[in-house]
Amino acid sequence: MRSNKVGILIFGMFLLLFFHPEIHAQDTLALQQPVCRVDIGAGISGMEELATSLSGEIQWRQGVHLFTLQYVYLSEVNLSIQFFPEIPPPPPEQIRSIGLLYGRTFPFHLKKTISPFPFALLTNEESDYFFTISIGISLCQNVFRYYENDARVKIGDALYTWQPVYSSRKKIVVGIPFQMELAQRLTPTIGVVHRLFYQFDDRRSLWGFQWAIQAYF
C-alpha cells in the first residue's frame, strides 16, 4: 500500500514538473491578468465505504501558476439495511482537511461544450477551458472507526445475537493532496469545474470526483 502511495506521488510530481503543453497565441490572453477564483463543490469519494464530499477553494492564478487554499469534508454514507432497531449501525468515518496546493494551469478552447446539463445552456459555441494539475500539503482531522469487541444484543423478547461493537477515535495527521481539474468558464464571472482528487496520509488513501461552481474576481 505504501509503495502505491509513493508511486502516485511521483506520478503527480512528474506531471507537475514536466507537463508543459504548447499554449497557442489566442490562449495567452487568458493568462495575462492575475485572477482570483472561489468555488464550492460536491461529489462522491471512496473510504472504506462510499462517501460524500464537500469542498471550498480559494485560488489565485498568476500566469500558469496556481495557488490554492482548500477545505474538504468527507463522510461515509450508511447504505446498510437495519432489520433490527436494537442493533445500532457502525459509526461513519469522517475527514476534515485544510490544505495549501501549488499547481500549473493551461488554457485551451473547444468548439463544443463538455459541461453537463444545465450548465451547457449558459455557454457560447466556443468555450474557454483550463486544465490544472496541483499537489500540496494538508492538515487532516480524521474520525476513524475502530473495532472494540463483540456484544450480546437482545432482539425481541427472547432472541439474542452477537454483534461487533465499534467506537470512533479522532486523529490529526498530515496529508498530501493531489488533484486534476478541468475548469470551464461559462461567463466572465461564473465557471464550472470537474475535479478528480486523491489524498493520502499514514492511515489511508482517499479518492473522489467533484463538480464545483466557480466565481471569478
Q: Which residue has the higher pLDDT, 72 or 125?
A: 72
Measured between alpha carbons, how far apart are the two ends of the chain, in Å? Answer: 41
Q: Quick check: 11 pLDDT over 70?
A: no
What is the pLDDT, as a whole number, of residue 54?
93
pTM of the model: 0.76
CA distances from 171 to 95, 109, 162, 166, 207 (A): 10, 44, 29, 16, 19
Q: What is the mean pLDDT of residues 108-115?
A: 62
Q: Quick check: 20 pLDDT over 70?
A: no
Residue 70 Cα to chain centre, angstroms: 10
Query: Which of 42-56, 84-98, 130-144, 175-189 shows the lowest mean pLDDT across its residues?
Result: 84-98
CATH number, domain 2-80+96-138+176-216: 2.40.160
Q: Quick check: 19 pLDDT over 60?
A: no
Which one, of 201, 168, 214, 216, lies nearest residue 9 by Cα? 201
With contact defined as beta carbons under 8 Å apart, do 198 and 191 qualify?
A: no
Label residue 25 by pLDDT band (50, 70, 90). Answer: very low
Q: Quick check: 119 pLDDT over 60?
A: no
Q: How do the residues of the chain divide into helix, strand and coil, expressed in percent and rounded to 5?
A: 15, 60, 25
Give the separation between CA 179 and CA 135, rounded to whole angstroms: 7
How many separate helices (H) and strands (E) can be counted in the chain? 1, 8
Q: Which residues are within 8 A (CB) of 86 and not within 5 positions of it... i.e. 6 or more apart?
A: 153, 154, 155
Burial 157-184 (b: 16+ CB within 10 A, else e): eeeeeeeeeeeeeeeeeebbbbbbbebb
- Enter the DSSP assignment of 116: P
**196: which strand partners?**
180, 209
Give the separation between CA 62 and CA 55, rounded to whole angstroms: 23
Which tens digits make up the pLDDT trace of 43-96?
998 777 788 999 999 999 988 889 999 999 999 887 766 655 656 677 788 889
Cell of 144: 476513524
The secondary element (H helix, E strand) that includes residue 124 is: none
Single-letter code of the amino acid located at 157: D
Domain ranges of the chain: 2-80+96-138+176-216
Give the separation between CA 73 and CA 192, rounded to whole angstroms: 20
